Amino acid sequence: MDTYKAKILLVEDDESLGLVVRDYLSLSGYDCILKEDGESAWNTFQTLKFDLCVFDIMLPRMDGFSLAEKVRGINAQVPILFLTSKQSKEDRILGFKTGADDYITKPFNIEELVLRIEVFLRRSMNKPSAEKKYHLGKYIFDYQNLTLHIGTTEYPLSQKEADILQTFCLNPEGIVKRDELLNAIWGSDDYFKGRSLDVFISKLRKHLKDDPSIEIQNLYSVGFRLRIEG
């Protein structure tokens, strides 16, 4: 029986680098498709099912930020990693706001890239077999299917959003320390991972705004607490 190969969409306009990364990922056991511009990558994403995406930012015909936004418009779950030479804080924060799960700057160690890919695929593909649903005020949070329901409205969640919200659910009314949350979900608590966490917390607050009894409290210099009145 054939072993399933995770399918990766790699978008890199540097032909030499793109071929090197594609070949290395293929040798590492992945089914990697390489595209050199954002528009062709978008067309390919719409026709094939991918388990993970690796996008450069400075792309012809559609930049990586725009490409990530389009992908997130139809798929909130697939992990997106940015692979780029843009290193400013503003660029990184914009990357996370457009839906990226991680950010790798050039030059990079290709073995580190593969390790990060393995982590994201393991989290997104090895979901718990047991049904995990949580009642949060008027909401129903379905961790396994990455959805948040209130009435007839359904909010699709990214894997990161679901992981963060589940952490809150497993600590009802308890304080979740910031560094523990970062280490558990991102594997480190550095500055940029912290800014990414803030972006995801902001997204969760927007999803939960339809029930005023729910509040994600920011406990300065400590962490967060999910508070539900009533």
Q: Are both 11 and 113 inside the same structural domain? A: yes
Q: Are both 72 and 157 inside the same structural domain? A: no
Tokens 């961790």 belong to: 143
Q: Are both 184 and 99 inside the same structural domain? A: no
CATH number at residue 171: 1.10.10.10
Tokens 């418009």 belong to: 73
Tokens 């090895």 belong to: 126
Confidence of residue 150 (pLDDT cuts 50, 70, 90): very high
Confidence of residue 3 (pLDDT cuts 50, 70, 90): low
Q: Are both 170 and 87 inside the same structural domain? A: no
Pairing of strands 52-55, 31-35: unpaired
Question: Looking at the domain assignment, is residue 54 inside a domain?
Answer: yes
Q: Are both 18 and 83 inside the same structural domain? A: yes
Q: Are both 139 and 171 inside the same structural domain? A: yes
Which run of H or E residues covers position 93? helix 89-97
Q: Are both 119 and 187 inside the same structural domain? A: no
φ, ψ dihedrals at 196, nearest 5°: -65, -40
pLDDT score of 50: 92
Q: What is the pLDDT of residues 18-58, one digit of tens each?
A: 999 999 999 999 999 999 999 999 999 998 889 999 999 99
Number of domains in the chain: 2
Contacts of 159 (CB under 8 A, 6+ apart): 77, 79, 101, 120, 123, 124, 146
| E strands present in 112-189 | 133-136, 139-142, 147-150, 153-156, 175-177
Q: Are both 32 and 117 inside the same structural domain? A: yes
Q: At which of 125, 157, 181 does a domain end?
A: 125
Q: What is the pLDDT of residues 86-137, one digit of tens each?
A: 666 777 777 777 778 888 888 888 988 998 898 888 876 655 444 478 899 9
The answer, yes or no, to whether residue 173 has pLDDT greater than 80, is no
Question: Looking at the domain assignment, is residue 1 inside a domain?
Answer: no
Q: Are both 57 and 140 inside the same structural domain? A: no
The answer, yes or no, to whether residue 2 has pLDDT greater than 60, is no
Q: Are both 141 and 215 inside the same structural domain? A: yes
Question: Is the link from the previous residue into 107 a cis peptide, with omega within 30 of 0?
Answer: yes
Contacts of 19 (CB under 8 A, 6+ apart): 34
pLDDT score of 87: 64
Contact at 8 Å (CB) between 153 and 139?
A: no
Q: At which of 68, 90, 125 does a domain end?
A: 125
Question: Looking at the domain assignment, is residue 196 inside a domain?
Answer: yes
Per the model's pLDDT, the better-predicted residue between 217 and 184 turns out to be 217
3-state secondary structure of 105: strand
Residue 39: C-alpha distances to residues 79, 80, 81, 82, 229 (Å): 19, 16, 18, 16, 47
Tokens 């679901």 belong to: 162
Q: How far apart are CA 63 and CA 74, in angstroms?
A: 18
The answer, yes or no, to whether residue 1 has pLDDT greater than 90, is no
pLDDT score of 159: 84
Q: Are both 166 and 76 inside the same structural domain? A: no
Q: At which of 69, 94, 125 does a domain end?
A: 125
Q: Are both 186 and 160 inside the same structural domain? A: yes
CATH number at residue 87: 3.40.50.2300
Q: What is the pLDDT of residues 202-228, one digit of tens each?
A: 999 999 999 999 999 998 878 899 998
Domain span at 99:
7-125
pLDDT score of 128: 46
Per the model's pLDDT, the better-predicted residue between 146 and 194 turns out to be 146
